[in-house]
Amino acid sequence: MTPFGERMRQMRARKGVSQKEMAAALGVSAAYLSALEHGRRGMPSWPLIQKIVGYFNVIWDDAEELERLAALSHPRVTVDTAGLSATATLLANRLAERIGRLAEGDVEELLARLDAMDRQGR
């Protein structure tokens, strides 16, 4: 599941609508919506994100957060380390190799560390 798919599922559950109902309102198939929620489809298009924002009547800040989550929700990530250090390439490859075996707490810890580095401007 992607961050965008998880958020969309939460919003849909709060509104009390099925995938089929939401899909019909957005003009997409229920199968596509399911694939989007489960991370079997890539990032939705900007027009579809706007339809989702309208469907849930999302306020501006939450709409920006939904757009940010969509941008971070590619289920198949490619990391280009060309021109970076050997250590950076090693990190990318080790992460790719191990991500499926990491405990959720370890993933959260790594994300928290990256967030802290972002806040420090690094």
Task: Please report which confidence band the pLDDT of residue 109 belongs to, taking 50, 70 and 90 as the band edges.
Answer: very high
Task: Please report which confidence band the pLDDT of residue 3 belongs to, taking 50, 70 and 90 as the band edges.
Answer: confident
Q: What is the residue extent of each domain of the chain?
A: 3-71, 86-119
Number of helical (H) and strand (E) elements in the chain, helices listed first: 7, 0
Give the tens place of pLDDT for each residue, 26-73. 999 999 999 998 888 878 888 999 999 999 998 888 889 889 888 888
CATH class of 3-71: mainly alpha
What is the reported pTM? 0.67
| CA geometry: angle 102, 106, 110, nearest 5 deg | 115
